[in-house]
Amino acid sequence: MEQIIIKVYGSISPAGNELLQAAQRVADESVSLEGDMLLISHEGMYFMIDDFIEAIKPHLGKGSEGRIDYIDMDEWTLTRYRIQDGLITRSEAGLNQVMDYSGH
């Protein structure tokens, strides 16, 4: 049985086939296109988040918006990548802080 250490969830819109293909080169089975929204869903031992961000960057444009959450269960951290008008910003917090903030 595989231990889940990394969880990655998110979405980006608008998205098309070029963004999907770029994302699939890094995370084939973890991405899908639903209408004009790219969905990211992964749970497993490893996810190449830096490579993923680099792969999608050239395909984001003005109007691109979304969020990707990278949860490291071993390090107990949440790294959030926010996409706004094609620009990506990164923030990190401990999961205890995140749960306290959300009332859990």
Summarize the confidence of residues 9-13 as an average pLDDT.
Answer: 98
pLDDT, tens digit, 9 for 90 and up, residues 20-59: 999 999 999 999 999 999 999 999 999 999 999 999 999 9
- Percentage above 90 pLDDT, the chain: 88
Confidence of residue 3 (pLDDT cuts 50, 70, 90): confident
pLDDT of residue 45: 94
pTM: 0.91
Print the SS3 string covering the chain.
CCCCCEEEEEEEECCCHHHHHHHHHHHHHHEEEECCEEEEEEEECCCCHHHHHHHHHHHCCCCCEEEEEEEECCCCEEEEEEEECCEEEEEEEEHHHHHHHHCC
The domain segmentation of the chain, as residue ranges, is 6-102
Distance of CA 101 to the CA centre of its chain: 21
Tokens 């008008």 label which residue? 85
For residue 35, the one-letter residue type is: G
